[in-house]
Amino acid sequence: MFVLGIPVKNDICVSSNEAEKFAKVFIDEGKIKDIKYEDNRDDLVGVVHFFITPKEEYVFDFLEAGAEPLMTPKENMNIAEIVEAFLFRELFSYGSI
């Protein structure tokens, strides 16, 4: 099982400073099993395996907790699109930019 952390506004991935809430998306066997929402970005640190944003932002807290930061290949992606991109390895690693 993987847990993705995604800052969202109207269920669209946005940068953390624009987010209304933070989704914890639980993926098991290639499918979304559950989505829980947190009000605070810090509640994802140490809990998620991957933290996904549409553009570069401060992610060292996630790196230190063992999570890999990833970026979406385009703007305005919803949670389902991000999960699909994650499963097909279409998200960008911060190190590859």
pLDDT tens for each residue of 36-59 = 999 999 999 999 999 999 998 999
Domain ranges for the chain: 2-96
Distance CA 13, CA 91 (A): 13
Tokens, residue 69: 């930061």
Tokens, residue 89: 């390895």
Alpha helices by DSSP H, the chain: 60-64, 79-87
Residue 96 in this model has a pLDDT that exceeds 60: no
pLDDT at 34: 98
Tokens 């969202």 sit at which residue? 8
Distance CA 26, CA 22 (A): 13
Residue 1 in this model has a pLDDT that exceeds 60: yes
pLDDT tens for each residue of 80-94 = 999 999 999 999 988
Angle CA 21–69–91, to nearest 5 = 95
pLDDT tens for each residue of 8-46 = 999 999 999 999 999 999 999 999 999 999 999 999 999
Residue 97 in this model has a pLDDT that exceeds 50: no
Is residue 49 a contact partner of residue 67, using CB atoms and an 8 Å limit? yes
pLDDT at 95: 66
Instruction: Write down the CATH number for the domain with range 2-96.
Output: 3.30.420.130
